[in-house]
Structure 1
Amino acid sequence: MRVLLLGADGFIGRRVADRFFTDPELQVTVLGRRDSADIRFDLASGSPGALTRFLDAVMPRVVVNCAGATYGTQRDLVRANTVAVATVCEAIRRSAEPARLIHLGSAAEYGPVSIGAAVPESADPRPIGPYGVSKLAGTELALSSGLDTVVLRVFDTVGPGAPAGSLFGRLAESLRRALERGEPQVRTADLSAFRDFVDVRDVARAVHAAAFSAATGVVNIGSGSGTRLRDAAGLLVRAAGFEGRLVEEGRSGGPIVPGQDPGDRPGEVLWRQADVRTARDRLGWRPRVPLEESLADVWTEIACRV
């Protein structure tokens, strides 16, 4: 089966590429901005017509969109997460043989949710901030395109290759410096919130499963459990062998408890936990890599970096 992979240089995209290239049933073509891509193309600035010509040359049965941006200005986020998706959808619609589209969304599209509860795909999205808004706009474009589309709404992804700007990428680098310098403490952001962590390799498995499935609509991809950031950070500290202490900066509000109204602390997402039954039932997918292993691998990669 021919697959066109977009965004293979990103955190998730690299693992999806690894997974796809090891499957002898797949013939993978990579499209992106870098020289390593089979086809050089910028989704944020290129025209749908030009992309359609590439689609007609490759004739993929599946297009996987892992492209996007997590950081940047509002303009950057809209171009990468919304305009680029519009270009992809229009190009596929114009192509001679429209492909199935697998688009990677984000749990940030949900925004604040009820604390203590698993959020289902049917929940009304209420994103806060330009990233969540731009991702939701991209999801809505994909779902309303009329194409054979599944959106994998990915929760908080961790594991080897974690971006330097991510919470655990920054924390791992801070722990490394502290160990090298013999410093007794490491400063970090507020760790009171809860997140649903899923290993990047498990996300790649979900994308692979979606390529062979008939699932459409939104499918949550997460672990199915909410973990306090402080507890997750403790796993990384333990993996590093750091015996000092973490100092949280910018803490706000009181403790987070089940049943708390998310409106008590406006502008914050206090809780994330995915309802993953749809992924189990429609993709045959379950997470496999435990959080402790994910974070140990984050540390191993940072510790071995020259």
Structure 2
Amino acid sequence: MDDDLDDVFRERRRLLALGYRMTGTLADAEDVVQETYLRWYRLTEAERDAIANPAGWLTTVAGRVALDLLGSARRRREQYVGPWLPEPVPAELFAGAIGSRTASRSEDPLDRITLDDDVSTALLVVLEAMTPAERVAFVLHDVFAVPFDEIAEAVGRSSAAVRQLAASARRHVRENRVAAVPRAEHDRVVRAFQEAANSGEIAPLLRYLAPDVELRSDGGGVVSAARNVVSGADNVARFLLGIAAKRPTMVMEQQQFGDGLGFVFREDGEVVSVMNLRVAAGRITQLWIVLNPAKLSSWLPG
């Protein structure tokens, strides 16, 4: 029995990785994991003994829990102050959590975004635009390799309907990642962007911002942030330089994320914001800045 419990507990990190992809925040992911384990412990010993694959059972139940949670989360986010962004986490946070699924992954960026342990902000933003059922079907099948029949049981739909949900979700992902670039190219552009930002001049920044670049910042109504999308290279450049002028002691540090190189901003040694970026055709097309303290939990001192 103790060995069985050890096996169940060993699934916690993988379930947390699943919950994060499902919900976009570590707090919600923790709720998914806790509820999943509560349902396991509510089973009788005979019911647990009858489960041939506890890891599969936990994964399927976590999908069902996440589906329920996503419905209420969507209602909460409709009242959120300013843009809602997924919580940024270090690239290595879930490294190895998926297991052999990533052992022979392709170098194609379109494949990489679905298979990487270190899930990207770009993918999470696309997932956020899906219906809860599409998101659950996509994450369970395309990332965690759960068979369609088991997903159908989790979401209360037929296997054929779940296949359609996953296919629709996959189209969303591919349509939004047509211009994905290799990691090395992403990082090269981001480093050049940082050097341009450090110059304090608009002209150097404009060389690395796409004409239709968009910047979103998430303060959650708790800290000061732009409540609307900042669009256009000139506007984004002036916005960034304006922040730098107002906060001269803020330090910009490079950090690897699921998207590639990004930045952590510190004041007096404390993390105040995290920036992820998207690169296409040699320029930055999206900037995502999270300032909401509730979404910076993984950057607090251990």
Q: TM-score, normalised by structure 2?
A: 0.31
The structure with the greater share of residues assigned to helix is 2
Q: TM-score, normalised by structure 1?
A: 0.31
